[in-house]
Amino acid sequence: MTAASVEQRREPIVSVRDLQVRFQTSDRRATVKAVDGVNFDVRRGETFGIIGESGSGKTTIGRALVFLLNPSAGAILHDGIDPLALPRREFQNHRRDYQIIFQDPNAALNPRMTILASVLEPLELARIGSHTERERQAREALERVGLPQEFGERYPHQLSGGQKQRVVIARALTLKPKLIVCDEVVAALDMSIRGDVLNLFADLQRDLGLTYVFITHDLAVVSHISERVAVMYLGQFVELGPTEEVAERPLHPYTIALLSAEPRPLPSAMRQESRIVLQGEVPSPIDPPSGCRFRTRCPHAQPLCTECAPEWRELKPDHWVACHFADRPNFRTTRNTGEAP
Partner 1 sequence: MGAGPPAQRRAEGARDGARPLLSVRGLGIRFKTTQGIWQATRRIDFDIAPGERVGIVGESGCGKTITGLSILRLLPGNFAGLDGKILFDGVDLASCSARQMRAIRGKRIAMIFQEPMSALDPVFTVGHQIAETLRVHSNIGQEEARAKTLEMLRRVGIASPERRIDDYPHQLSGGMRQRVMIAASLICGPQLLIADEPTTALDVTVQAQILELLRDISETSKTALMLITHDLGVVAETCTRMITMYAGEVIEDAAVDEALVRPLHPYTSGLLRSLPHLSPRHGRLPSIPGRVPSIAEMPAGCRFRARCAHAAKGCEAEQKLQDAGGGRRVRCHRFAELNLPGALHPPDAPAAAKVATQ
Positions touching partner 1 (CB under 8 A) are 53-54, 160, 162, 190-196, 198-199, 202, 217-221, 223-226, 243-244, 247-248, 257-271, 275, 277-278, 281-282, 337-341
Q: Checking DSSP bridges between strand 211-216 and strand 47-51, what pairing results, if any?
A: parallel
CB of 122 to partner 1, least distance (A): 27
Closer of 174 and 223 to partner 1 (Cβ): 223
Nearer to partner 1, 218 or 318 (CB): 218
Spatial contact of 51 and 217, defined as CB atoms under 8 Å apart? yes
- Provide the minimum distance between the beta carbon of 192 and partner 1 in the complex, in angstroms, as a whole number: 4
Spatial separation of the C-alpha atoms in residues 231 and 65, rounded to whole Å: 17
Q: How many residues does the chain have?
A: 341
Residue (of 283, 279, 318) closest to 299 by Cα position: 279
Which CB sits closer to partner 1, 74 or 161?
161
Q: How far is the CB of 269 from partner 1 (least distance, A)?
A: 5
In angstroms, rounded to a whole number, what is the distance separating the alpha carbons of residues 144 and 195?
Answer: 17
**Given the complex with partner 1, which of 265 and 303 has the nearer CB atom?**
265
CA atoms within 13 A on the CB side of 296: 12
Q: Is the dihedral of CA 160, 161, 162, 163 positive or negative?
A: positive
Q: H helices of 209-282, where? A: 219-225, 243-248, 253-261
CB-based contacts of 324: which residues, under 8 Å, 6+ apart? 292, 302, 304, 305, 310
Between 169 and 175, CB nearer to partner 1: 169
- Rg, the chain, Cα only: 21
User: Residue 107 CB, nearest distance to partner 1 (Å)?
Assistant: 17
Tell me whether residue 30 or residue 261 sits nearer to partner 1 (CB atom): 261
Nearer to partner 1 among residue 59 and residue 243 (C-beta): 243
What minimum distance in Å lies between the beta carbon of 264 and partner 1? 5
The minimum distance between CB 191 and partner 1, in angstroms, equals 6
CB 215 within 8 A of CB 184: yes
Residue 230 CB, nearest distance to partner 1 (Å)?
Answer: 15
